[in-house]
Structure 1
């Protein structure tokens, strides 16, 4: 009898543990889903990406995911002259519609491609006028029907499911609890992750208010890495920082909106110093730049708090320095200072006046910050057997040796031509043992002028600092 009771107790105990574990999982998963939806492929995103691909927008014409792009070209090639595409070409040239404006329109459509008109004036990107938006949607619905897009999406459902499955580990890796702890507030927005299959390296953050008046923030993640079979893959080290970046926007963007005046002087001075780099990233104002700087510093803060390797943190930091956020290291230090004073500053919002004072010092030091970083860049110090502008190079020169002042990472090569005719035949490359030189095997023709841009993509230090692009011109005899 005692043994039977013991067995019953043991079974009951196991059931209780299973139920408690299940409840814990459901609560955790439910809380995660309340903050951030599982990643998915969204037909609205794909449809708009395809339309602007057909219209020739460079940012929507990546062919990295060739398996998918080939299907797009095969299905939609006959519709390049559709009246929708003609209309898009007109309004994009007149109003600069591209990049995130395209994705903004996508999330302002319902699943039947009807425009959510209540949101037009409030959250739709301002490059869309109401008139253009309404006409675009009318033509889009016609295009969807004429091109039998329903069949295209049905035919690619298995591909979409596989992409979603492959991205899931990135989503599961993020510790969502860190955000309200660090910022001192819970997110007021719902965060949604969408995989943009045809967007290449383009990532976009756009937002809309749902019918209840709550903001939904979309992180539309590009697809730029393929496995050996040409299928999309999502290496953690490449995609995770981007996802961290986009989620930080949910906590950061409102902070400057509260009071821009305390940052204006320093923001304008910093923006003036790095305007060219910011414009290349479509950051057209000092306010946007400061938002981006804080978001990027918060990514590094997350990495530090989660004990990322020093190499990973250094690489992320140097990437931001190279992008023009020359005060990023000091800003990360300031976030550490904030985190050490949480009894005095419960939220980052409370700390913004202190941050504004720190920004005054960044603005005062911007010239020295710039000079310090430029000194860390690898630089070409010489070429063996050739000089810039030389007009009598031997066409028998079968090798170009490029010498740098610092050791490089030593992986790959990156060149760009001015034209196909002026670019040499490159057959291979190898690095010197100390990685301070790279030897390029090439073929030259006599009596010909060559123009080559040696680019930053591959030629960078081990901690990720790239060279500046170098233009090389010479002629053979």
Structure 2
């Protein structure tokens, strides 16, 4: 699962087209059909949106999400939506569990599962009894809301979205997966455009009774052009596509060997729990899978001659996300690739990775300290101390100082849990001449609480090391 939460991998490319990969047409690959929209995915995204699930509540593609609100808004009290709220609270059903259910369903209106359900299929959070009741209510919701009318009305949007995504699809080198993981891709690969998913990206799969397997990359839609239509930039979406397909090769490795990872995984997770929880990675096992997936993405980039600066930025991105051992794990993947006569598959090399995690666990605090020393840090705010009360609303600037010069390009200032109402009106953002401060020009109101967050997405050191997200909080006098 990859969320822009949402979590998405973000890479700045200087010369993206220097990638030495063949496109799918040149490869003659037939196992990957062109991207498309899947009504099952859209419907489940919609009903969980109606139930208030944050991960399915993006409004980034406003043209489409406004259509959802207009059409389905009257059904927010439907018994299906009430049931979703209940199972989210009781079983924590959300994120990837929702998309796993979507691909395990047959077509509307019956939604008969394509494989036999169990307490672990489509996903252990569902449990069979709750999954069956959900499917029954989903069919009722589909009929009651006449959801087919909505899908027909939005068919042109779906067609345009998938057509635009072809620029990403054409760059994927599936042969690399076969070569690197050491297994021929017998699976059927399917790219689905999650039009209403915002920055949420998912990699579910299905195992059929006859041994066949379908592997999905459900790609969110989080950028738009000046006309309000979805826009897919290679630098944003291509690495995410790599990420989701890597999950299909990696997850079973870690799932089959949990006890061998557990002790060291728990030690590491405890050290980075704050970062992992912020990305909806609720335990050490998910963290282990995500780390291997992310290291494999970087390996792909290196094998396809991505620009060094882009690779370095991706590594820093993963360090910032709490995968502090990513460099060491990447070295293990390089060792594996240099000994393919001895280790024909990544699965055969897995005992070495398990052993390496003993070192990662022992050194996690060292990795943490090294990276934190490289981060720029906020030292002060000129106009007031952070978390102050009774600030004069007449001040027109907020000057935030750092312990070293920043890169000085771009700004990343976000809402916090307090929402839009707590976000100040900012008319201009600029850097000081030496790039050691940022100056926000603001218009504050009397008697109000304010809060916003500086993120490392744009605020980085000269060496591109991101700041640790920093919350500025204060209130003004009445």
Q: Give the alignment's TM-score, normalised by structure 2.
A: 0.87
- Partner of residue 189 from structure 1, selected from 170, 173, 187: 187
For each residue in 1:222-281, what CA deviation from the matched residue of structure 2 results, as whole angstroms up to 9, or x when unmatched?
110111111111111111111111111222222234444443332222122222322332
Name the residue aligned to 1:10. none
Name the residue aligned to 2:469. 468
**Structure ranking higher on relative contact order (CA contacts 8 Å, 6+ apart):** 2
Q: What is the CA distance between 1:110 and its match in structure 2? A: 1.0
Name the residue aligned to 1:431. 431
What is the CA–CA distance in structure 1 between the aligned matches of 2:390 and 2:272, rounded to whole Å? 39
Name the residue aligned to 1:22. none
SS at structure 1 position matched to 2:367: helix
What is the CA–CA distance in structure 2 between the aligned matches of 1:295 and 1:263, rounded to whole Å? 16
Give the number of equivalent residue pairs.
450
For each residue in 1:104-134, what CA deviation from the matched residue of structure 2 results, as whole angstroms up to 9, or x when unmatched?
2111111234222643115311222322222
What is the CA–CA distance in structure 2 between the aligned matches of 1:148 and 1:335, rounded to whole Å? 50
What is the CA–CA distance in structure 2 between the aligned matches of 1:148 and 1:73, rounded to whole Å? 15
What is the CA–CA distance in structure 2 between the aligned matches of 1:54 and 1:69, rounded to whole Å? 11
Q: Which runs of 5+ in 1 are unaligned?
A: 1-24
Name the residue aligned to 1:251. 249
What is the CA–CA distance in structure 2 between the aligned matches of 1:243 and 1:440, rounded to whole Å? 36
Name the residue aligned to 1:412. 411
1:94 equivalent to 2:80? Answer no
- Partner of residue 163 from structure 2, selected from 145, 165, 189: 165
For each residue in 1:310-368, what CA deviation from the matched residue of structure 2 results, as whole angstroms up to 9, or x when unmatched?
22112211111111111001111121122222222222222222222222211111101
Name the residue aligned to 1:119. 116
1:33 equivalent to 2:34? Answer no
SS at structure 2 position matched to 1:177: helix
For each residue in 1:273-328, what CA deviation from the matched residue of structure 2 results, as whole angstroms up to 9, or x when unmatched?
22232233232332222111111000001111111112211221111111111100
Q: What is the CA distance between 1:415 and its match in structure 2? A: 4.2
Name the residue aligned to 1:7. none
Q: What is the CA distance between 1:47 and its match in structure 2? A: 0.8
Q: Which runs of 5+ in 2 are unaligned?
A: 1-23
In 1, are the aligned partners of 2:203 and 2:245 still within 8 Å (CA)?
A: no
Q: Which moved more, 1:56-65 or 1:134-143?
A: 134-143
Indicate how the Cα distance of structure 1 residues 218 and 392 shifts in structure 2: closer, same or farther if over 3 A, else same.
Answer: closer
What is the CA–CA distance in structure 1 between the aligned matches of 2:55 and 2:371, rounded to whole Å? 29
Name the residue aligned to 1:298. 296
In 2, are the aligned partners of 1:164 and 1:195 still within 8 Å (CA)?
A: yes
For each residue in 1:155-200, what CA deviation from the matched residue of structure 2 results, as whole angstroms up to 9, or x when unmatched?
1111111100111121110111111111222234322111111111
1:254-273 alignment runs, 5 A limit: 254-273=252-271
* Larger radius of gyration between Structure 1 and Structure 2: 1
Q: What is the CA distance between 1:394 and its match in structure 2? A: 4.3
What is the CA–CA distance in structure 2 between the aligned matches of 1:389 and 1:58, rounded to whole Å? 27
Name the residue aligned to 1:198. 196
- Partner of residue 49 from structure 1, selected from 41, 45, 52: 45
Q: Give the alignment's TM-score, normalised by structure 1.
A: 0.87
What is the CA–CA distance in structure 2 between the aligned matches of 1:315 and 1:328, rounded to whole Å? 13
Name the residue aligned to 2:149. 151
Q: Which moved more, 1:307-316 or 1:181-190?
A: 181-190
What is the CA–CA distance in structure 2 between the aligned matches of 1:159 and 1:245, rounded to whole Å? 26
- Partner of residue 105 from structure 1, selected from 87, 90, 101: 101
What is the CA–CA distance in structure 2 between the aligned matches of 1:179 and 1:230, rounded to whole Å? 35
1:140 equivalent to 2:138? Answer yes
SS at structure 2 position matched to 1:227: coil
For each residue in 1:422-447, what CA deviation from the matched residue of structure 2 results, as whole angstroms up to 9, or x when unmatched?
5543222112233322111112356x
What is the CA–CA distance in structure 2 between the aligned matches of 1:259 and 1:442, rounded to whole Å? 54
What is the CA–CA distance in structure 2 between the aligned matches of 1:123 and 1:409, rounded to whole Å? 49
- Bigger helix fraction: 1
Q: What is the CA distance between 1:413 and its match in structure 2? A: 4.2
Indicate how the Cα distance of structure 1 residues 424 and 277 shifts in structure 2: closer, same or farther if over 3 A, else same.
Answer: closer
What is the CA–CA distance in structure 2 between the aligned matches of 1:263 and 1:474, rounded to whole Å? 47
In 1, are the aligned partners of 2:80 and 2:137 still within 8 Å (CA)?
A: yes
In 2, are the aligned partners of 1:42 and 1:194 still within 8 Å (CA)?
A: yes
- Partner of residue 229 from structure 1, selected from 222, 227, 230: 227
What is the CA–CA distance in structure 2 between the aligned matches of 1:333 and 1:466, rounded to whole Å? 26
SS at structure 1 position matched to 2:216: strand
Name the residue aligned to 2:276. 278
In 1, are the aligned partners of 2:106 and 2:114 still within 8 Å (CA)?
A: no
In 1, are the aligned partners of 2:458 and 2:466 still within 8 Å (CA)?
A: no
Q: Which moved more, 1:126-135 or 1:318-327?
A: 126-135
